[in-house]
Amino acid sequence: MEYNQIFKIPEYYAKYKIAEFLLEDIPEGDRTTEGLLVGNEEITAVVQAQEDLIFAGEQLLNYFFDNTFKLSLNFRDGQLVKKDEIIAIIYGRADFILARERTLLNLLQRLCGIATITSKFVKIAEPYNVKILDTRKTTPGLRIFEKYAVVVGGGCNHRLDLSSGILIKDNHIKLAGSIKEVIRKVKLRNEKNLPIEIEVENLEEINEALDEGVDGLLLDNFKPEELKRIVEYIRTKSSDVFLEASGGINLSNLEEYVKTGVDAISSGTLTQSVKCVDIHMEFI
């Protein structure tokens, strides 16, 4: 299976989204700061990690400021930042920095949180040659950024959107009437010859999907012991079908799943319920 990896966020898109985020927080000016400053005071601010994290944001921080500011980044995407280390130094107008502080930190904390947890998944899965995939369980309006953070953390993007891949799920099967019928219909309309993956939940569904010829099976909600037996059975029928496990997989049980022989594990945890890391900004 091939993935549409987001290694670089297009500049026009990043600028557009960041302008949108700033407008949300500064629709008619920063009323607090406006009363404090009498001129164009300039200050130096540091962005500092309050815990160990994987940095994700190198491609974005510059777009919060124009060329009248000086921004020095001390880390590249994917690098480990230790607690108390300075991620970036910003020099420029105090009112502009204050007006952008919260939005910048909100975005950075979330993306670094995603990259950090993804790297933990990858570290466990890598010795078993299992890929870690994200899902479409992303924050509306932040998908490209969040999937970029997954790649920064060493993971892989599954589908970027409904247009970029075919994944037949339970409701599609119900709509079509059967696995055989849904695969037949999808194949008839698959003009771009995209790989076809289907979600299966038992041996009967697995056999029917394999008989119809698919590129991948999403093995959903199996316990590790059962999944291992299922994978061994599938490999007796097909050596090259892509096997992905999903459903209730997190850091606490990941190691049990990577030992089952699957090719990849997808988890909504990477983007849906991730904990933002602690980063703050201080004037010096």
CA distance linking residue 53 with residue 114, whole number of Å: 10
Verify whether residue 199 is a known catalytic residue: yes
What confidence score (pLDDT) does residue 37 get?
63
Contact between 56 and 153 under an 8 Å Cβ cutoff? The reply is yes
Residues 75, 198 within the same domain: no
Q: 1-35: buried (b, 16+ CB within 10 Å) or exposed (e) per residue?
A: bebeebeebeeeebeebbeebbeeeeeeebeebee
Q: What is the pLDDT of residues 91-119, one digit of tens each?
A: 998 888 999 999 999 999 999 999 999 99
> Does position 38 have pLDDT exceeding 60, yes or no?
no
Taking residues 213-234, what's their average pLDDT? 95
Verify whether residue 181 is a known catalytic residue: no
Verify whether residue 102 is a known catalytic residue: yes
Residues 156, 208 within the same domain: yes
What confidence score (pLDDT) does residue 33 get?
77
Residues 108, 134 within the same domain: no
Contact between 246 and 253 under an 8 Å Cβ cutoff? The reply is no
Local confidence band at 28 (pLDDT 50, 70, 90 cut-offs): confident
Q: Which of 8, 169, 235, 237 is catalytic?
A: 169
Residues 132, 266 within the same domain: yes
Residues 234, 179 within the same domain: yes
3 in a domain, yes or no?
Answer: no
Verify whether residue 228 is a known catalytic residue: no
Taking alpha carbons only, the member of 117, 155, 160, 119 closest to residue 136 is 160
Phi and psi at residue 119, to the nearest 5°: -65, -30
In percent, the amount of the chain with pLDDT more than 90 equals 83
First to last CA, the chain: 50
Residues 149, 186 within the same domain: yes
What confidence score (pLDDT) does residue 32 get?
80
Taking residues 32-36, what's their average pLDDT? 74
4 in a domain, yes or no?
Answer: no
- Positive or negative CA dihedral for 20, 24, 27, 30? negative
What confidence score (pLDDT) does residue 129 get?
96
The pLDDT mean for the chain works out to: 93
What confidence score (pLDDT) does residue 279 get?
97
Taking residues 117-123, what's their average pLDDT? 98
1 in a domain, yes or no?
Answer: no
Verify whether residue 185 is a known catalytic residue: no
Q: Which of 15, 120, 136, 137 is catalytic?
A: 137
Q: How many domains does one find in the chain?
A: 2
> Does position 40 have pLDDT exceeding 80, yes or no?
no
CA distance linking residue 185 with residue 234, whole number of Å: 24
> Does position 3 have pLDDT exceeding 80, yes or no?
no
What confidence score (pLDDT) does residue 39 get?
61
What confidence score (pLDDT) does residue 233 get?
96
Q: Which of 220, 256, 263, 278 is catalytic?
A: 220
Q: Which domain holds residue 170?
A: 124-270
Which CATH number belongs to the domain containing residue 53 in this structure? 3.90.1170.20
Which CATH number belongs to the domain containing residue 231 in this structure? 3.20.20.70
Three-class SS state of 187: helix
Taking residues 264-273, what's their average pLDDT? 93
Residues 208, 255 within the same domain: yes
- Positive or negative CA dihedral for 170, 174, 175, 180? positive
